[in-house]
Every structure is written in C-alpha cells, then in structure tokens.
Structure 1
Amino acid sequence: MVAVYHYGGREGDITTAWGTSPATQFPTLHEWFAYGPLGVQIFFVISGFVICMSGWGRSLAAFFASRASRLMPAYWVAVLLITAVFALPGVVYRTASADDTLLNLTLLQMPAGGQRVIGVDWTLWAEIRFYALFALCVILPGVTRRRVVLFGALWTLGAVMADAAHSALLAQVLMPHYAPFFVGGMGLYLVHRNHRDPLGWGLAAVGFLLGQHYAVADLWHPASHFGYRHTTVIIAILALGFAAIAAMALGRPRRADWRWLTTAGALTYPFYLVHEHLGWVAIGALHRTLGVPAAATLPLTVSAMLLLAWLLHRYVERPMTPWLRARLTTAPAKT
C-alpha cells in the first residue's frame, strides 16, 4: 500500500522520476494508490500487537536490546546506501549534508530538526516514542494484563486531552493521531491471549473508532491535485485492517500458514526503508532513460526493491541482529 502510494499516488519527487504526473501514468489507478498511506495506520496496529507480545515477560534491558537489534542494522545501512546513491552523478535528488547523514544514524533527526535521509523514517520516530512509553509504563514495573489495560486507557485519554489542549509538547509525547492504532493493537493482543477478554475488545474498539476519526481528518483532503479521498473508503480500509488483525488474534486463518509468508514478513522492514528514494532512481532509469512503459516499470521497480530488501536481510540483518542483541544484553565486566 505504501509503495504504490509513493510510486503512483502522490506528486513531488516521484513526478520527477516519471517525467510527468503519476496521474498521467496511471489514469485510473492513481486515485486508488492515493489511499496507500493507510498502510501506516494498519502497521501501527500490528506494532501494538507485536510489541505487547514481544515485551511480555521481558526485562527492560532485554526489550531494549530486542528493539535496537531489530531496527538499527538495516536502518544504518539504508541511510548510508541512500546517501551514497543520491550523491552519484546524474541523480537529480538532493543529497543530505554530512552532518545530517551522521545525525540520521541516531534516528533522532526529526526532534533534532535535521534533514531526513529516509522519507518514511517519520514512522520510526513514532515507533520509538511508543516503545519508550510502553517500556516505562508497562515493562519497567512488569507486564501484566492489568497494566496493559491501564496504560492503554490512560494513553488514549491523555492523547485526546493533548489534542484538545493544542499542546505541541504533549502531542510529541502522546501522539494523539497515532496512539489509537497502537492501543488498538495492544487490545487485540489481549484478545489473542483470551478471546473473551472484554477490556481487550474494548481497547481495540475504541482504538478503531478514535483512529478512523483521526485518519479521516488527516487524509480526506486532497493529497495533491488528484482529488479527494472518500471518507467511506478510508473507514472501510481501516475496518478491514483491524478485522484482519483480529482474525489473526483469534487464530482463524490457520490454513494461511505458508512458508513463504515468513520470508515476506522478513523483507517488509528493509523494503520499507529503501523502496521510496531508491525507487525514484529505479523508475527514472527504467522509464525515462530506457523507455520502459509505466505498466512494466512499476512491477519491475517493486521487484528490484524486494531484491535489495532480500540482500539487506540476508547479509545485514541475519548476521548483525543476533550479534548486536548479544552485545547489548551482555553485562560489562566489573573493574
């Protein structure tokens, strides 16, 4: 969803890549591609589920090591790779300065006011804030169902109050427009543990009801000159996303336990990191330079980014993730 949005559902640098507006390249599909950003909200629901699951029974140190080793190796390589590609002769996109590239390695470039090397990393900044809140409020005192429910309820209430107060600081910390999706995912994990958990279902329901409101407010207006996203379609896509994750929580789609899904899941994160900016370069090379039609350029670009994602997974994540996790969980020798 996010990839087709970046390749054909918006204006901006992708217009430079195609040489014309994506609306010209995809006269009908571009209107549907414009709904792609909703993949992020659905991902936040998945994240709420997974972080609640992976944090259960873990210490704060183990949780930190797990998150850092999962996110950082591929991210570091992606930052350096995109910076290097954008610096090549003939690539028309702006290269980040040396200090901004180094700042991006911390994943704190957004609060520090630096230029982002990876456009989609704003979602990682949201993830980091979620991890911090969950770690301090749930993992540090010890994960229990009661603490998850209390945290979800208080975060939801605090996020709405921060939005009503128009407080920039509280909005940065509590993320009113994204909190409902994380909380909804946490509720669905409680449902996974106990299918009849009324408070888990309650967190999921409130997460959806509040989240769809913020999603409509953020996305119904024109993303560009493409026109309006329809409110009903936005709500329907989010409802399908919540329903799919709820079905997984209830253990319904057991027949979909195909081996290739594990590989697909492993490629999701590195693909997400590299697909946008390097996709611009691939589209420009295929379509403008080689004259490949748009209908072929789009799947070829997605395939190229999936191949790059596999290389990152195979040669970066698989060796570096366990190594980094071990280094972060090994206590230093006493002196």
Structure 2
Amino acid sequence: MSAPPAPDAGPISPAAATAPTPTPPHAPDLARERSAERTAKAAARGGGHPVRLRALDGLRLLAALMVAAYHYGGRDGEIAQAWGSSPRAQFPTLSSTFAYGCLGVQIFFVISGFVICMSGWGRPLRSFFASRVSRLYPAYWVAIILVTAVFALPWVTYKAVSPSDALVNLTMLQQPLGVDRVLGVCWTLWAELRFYALFALFVVLPGATRHRVVLFCAVWTLGSAFAEAANLPLLDVVLMPEYSSYFIGGMGIYLLHRFGHDALSWGIIGISFLIGQHYAIRELWHPANIDAFSYRSAVGIIGVVAFGYVAVTLIALGKLNWANWRWLTVAGALTYPFYLVHEHLGWVVVWVLHQKLGIPSYGTFALTVLVMLGLAWLLYRFVEQKLTPVIKRSLTTVRL
C-alpha cells in the first residue's frame, strides 16, 4: 500500500536534439551509453508509438489488495474489534494466506525504485520535486482529514489523535517527529520520502546517467551494510538498510528496461533480492507458535518477494506488454488513494456491514474492498485530478 508506492509511470520521452560539441575524453563510453539508450527507447516504443506499462499499474493494484487482505483478515488488533472476533475465526481457511499480504509493501518499494528512476530521468531537480509533491500530498491531505473526522464521530469507537498531532500529520513527517499517526500505512511514505531525497541528491541533481545510477546503487548497498554493522541510529534513518534493497532492485530493473541486458544491471537486481529476502524474513518470520496469530514460512516469504522482483522484471523487459487493457490505467490511478484510506476507514465499514447489518464475513470483506475502491475513485477524480496539476504547475514555475 507502493505504501504504497507514487506513479509517474508514463513512457520515456525522447531526448532533445543538441548541437554538435567537442568530443570529450570519455566520448566512447558516453556514445555506447547513448546508443544503448536509443536502442532501448526504440524497442519500448514498438514502431514509434510510446508504450504505457499498464501491467505495472495492475501490479500496483495487486500489491495494494494484498495489503488490504492483510489488514482485513491477516492480522489481529483493531480489525478484530471491527469483526467482533479474531479474523482467524472469520476466515479460518484464508487468514494464514492473508498474513502474507503485508509483503505487498516490499513489492511496492521495488515498483517505486523502477518508477522513480523512470520519472526522474532527464528531469531538473525542480521538476522532480514538483512531480513528487503534487503526486503525494493532495490525496494524502484529504485522507488525513477524512480519517480524523470519522474517528471523531461519537459512535465510532476508535480513538482519534489530538488536533495538534493531526496537524503535524499533514506534513508527512509525523514518524521522525514521534507524533501519533493518523494513518497506519504512513510509515511507508516516510521510507518513500527518504528514497526520493537520496535519489534527488545523488542522481537527479547531477543529472541521471546509467553510470551514475549504477554507482548510486552500489554505494547505497554498501552504505546500508555499513549502517547495519555500525548500529548507529542516524545511519539507519538515512540509509534505511531494511528497505533500501527493494528500491535499489527496482532501479536495477529500470536499467534493464532502458539499456537492455547487461551484467551490472542483473548484478544489482540479484544482490538486492538476496538482501531483501533476508530482511523480509528477519522482520516477518517467527517459529511456529500456537499462541501467535499467524505463521509465515520462510519459503513462503521468499516466494512472495521473488514474485515481486520477477513480475517487475518481466514488465520491464516487455514480456507482459500483452496486458495492455485500458482499465489497468484506472486501476493504477486508484492504487495510491485506496492504499491511504483502506485500513482505518475499512475498520468502520467492516463494523457497520458485519456487526450492524449482519452481512457474512466474506461478503463484508468484498463489499469493504469495493467501498474503499469507490472512495479511492472519488479522491482520484475530485482531488488528485484537480489539485495535482495546479500544485505541479505552481511549484515548477516558482522563483527560487
């Protein structure tokens, strides 16, 4: 709930023509890179027409639905209050499967590495900053207001955060500031913000090239390992070793998409997967315990993480271009607002449908997902489509 990851997953724009310049000393390497880039672009266009990676939109929605399945039926806590009993009692055969849905977040991060590398390529820093802010904040602000308002209703039993904390939540910096969160999923947005900052500083600001992205991936991987070994909180916050490998893997996959097969890109992807599955198991696996809500096998965790890497890679290589249905673009657009609102507002909807209206568990589950998708469409149609262009235009043209 790519949190869900923030999509600017459109086709790659053609490079602007430039006048001939004196040949620099590294011209052969640069010429090879530009030749590979032209070849990749031509293949991606498929005869001169840009290709929308609609399969990536579908994968984003799938990851969001995985997270929703986890929040509605794969964990205990507040959702048990909404159901009136443990979700394990509501879904005796599926709750153990739903428990793997939390790994949709890791898939979101891989997608984010791919998409941010794509959207940031060739953009000046101001344009990159404007695109990220205008994409993330409009739906987020409305989600914060909605959840705060609903939880303040007298018949809703869930506790709202204080007015001061709700205001801090509007900045998206509540987690590092130690403030109570309005949205449970916003911890993933804090990870995304740190990734954007690192990518902007070391790739967008100096100008994205294949060499620079490879170097960034290598240095971040080693830095994350050093941060883990040093056990210094500041390094953990900046380099986030538990999540960095997923973003790095996504960037490696984008290099495949843009430049074609090469050992360095495959090496980045392979190493990031090996590290990523380690952190996924470390965070989510525990020995089988009758008192624990759920048990995820190590093989199952590795399998879900591998699925995310393989799916994004197949999309990047054009193997899923046949999944070019227009509705997938809409599905991708709904993913982010759905991810923001589905958990906390879903508790209220489950409570109303199941306990007040007496709708059976599986019907309540399906209806709750549909209601949240409907709300996501409203946020997309009346918030994002109206505010995102205005904010982007304002930030792009502002004088610094």
3-state DSSP class of the match of 1:325? helix
The CA distance in 2 between the partners of 1:125 and 1:48, in whole Å, is: 15
The CA distance in 1 between the partners of 2:155 and 2:298, in whole Å, is: 41
The CA distance in 2 between the partners of 1:58 and 1:195, in whole Å, is: 21
The amino acid that maps onto 1:319 is K
The CA distance in 1 between the partners of 2:386 and 2:178, in whole Å, is: 32
The amino acid that maps onto 2:307 is L
- What is the CA deviation profile of residues 260-296 of structure 1, one whole-angstrom value per residue up to 9, with x for unaligned ones? 0000000000000000000000000000111110010
**Alpha-carbon deviation of 1:100?**
0.4
Q: Which residue among 37, 48, 65 is the counterpart of 2:130?
A: 65
**Alpha-carbon deviation of 1:74?**
0.2
Question: Mapping of 1:10-25 within 5 angstroms?
Answer: 10-25=75-90
Q: Which residue among 238, 244, 252 is the counterpart of 1:173?
A: 238
1:314 alignment partner in structure 2: 381
1:289 alignment partner in structure 2: 356
Q: Which residue among 347, 356, 359 is the counterpart of 1:280?
A: 347
Name the larger-Rg structure: 2
Question: Mapping of 1:45-56 within 5 angstroms?
Answer: 45-56=110-121
1:189 alignment partner in structure 2: 254
The amino acid that maps onto 1:204 is I
Q: Which residue among 352, 368, 380 is the counterpart of 1:301?
A: 368
Question: Mapping of 1:67-82 within 5 angstroms?
Answer: 67-82=132-147
**Alpha-carbon deviation of 1:228?**
2.1
1:235 alignment partner in structure 2: 302
Q: Which residue among 267, 270, 282 is the counterpart of 2:334?
A: 267
- What is the CA deviation profile of residues 13-67 of structure 1, one whole-angstrom value per residue up to 9, with x for unaligned ones? 0010000000000001000000011100011000000000000000111000000
Stretches of structure 2 lacking an aligned partner (at least 5 in a row): 1-65
The CA distance in 1 between the partners of 2:248 and 2:208, in whole Å, is: 15
Q: For structure 1, which segment, 225-234 or 59-68, has the greater mean C-alpha deviation from structure 2 after superposition?
A: 225-234
The answer (yes or no) to whether the contact 2:76–2:87 under 8 Å persists in 1 is: yes
TM-score by length of 2: 0.82
Percent of residue pairs identical: 62
1:225 alignment partner in structure 2: 292
Confirm or deny that 1:150 pairs with 2:215: yes
2:227 alignment partner in structure 1: 162
The answer (yes or no) to whether the contact 2:338–2:375 under 8 Å persists in 1 is: yes
Instruction: Give the alignment's Cα RMSD to 1 decimal.
Output: 1.2
The answer (yes or no) to whether the contact 2:99–2:294 under 8 Å persists in 1 is: no
Stretches of structure 1 lacking an aligned partner (at least 5 in a row): none
1:210 alignment partner in structure 2: 275
**Alpha-carbon deviation of 1:135?**
0.5
The CA distance in 2 between the partners of 1:316 and 1:103, in whole Å, is: 21
**Alpha-carbon deviation of 1:332?**
3.5
The CA distance in 2 between the partners of 1:225 and 1:235, in whole Å, is: 20
Question: Mapping of 1:238-249 within 5 angstroms?
Answer: 238-249=305-316
Question: Which structure has more RCO (C-alpha within 8 Å, separation ≥ 6)?
Answer: 2
Confirm or deny that 1:135 pairs with 2:200: yes
2:181 alignment partner in structure 1: 116
Q: Which residue among 157, 160, 163 is the counterpart of 1:92?
A: 157
The CA distance in 1 between the partners of 2:207 and 2:286, in whole Å, is: 42
The CA distance in 1 between the partners of 2:269 and 2:195, in whole Å, is: 17
Q: Which runs of 4+ in 1 moved over 6 A?
A: none
**Alpha-carbon deviation of 1:226?**
2.1
The CA distance in 2 between the partners of 1:220 and 1:227, in whole Å, is: 10
Confirm or deny that 1:105 pairs with 2:170: yes
3-state DSSP class of the match of 2:322? helix
**Alpha-carbon deviation of 1:250?**
0.3
Q: Which residue among 31, 52, 73 is the counterpart of 1:8?
A: 73
Q: For structure 1, which segment, 194-203 or 105-114, has the greater mean C-alpha deviation from structure 2 after superposition?
A: 194-203
The CA distance in 1 between the partners of 2:238 and 2:253, in whole Å, is: 23
Say which structure is richer in helix: 1
The CA distance in 1 between the partners of 2:172 and 2:67, in whole Å, is: 21
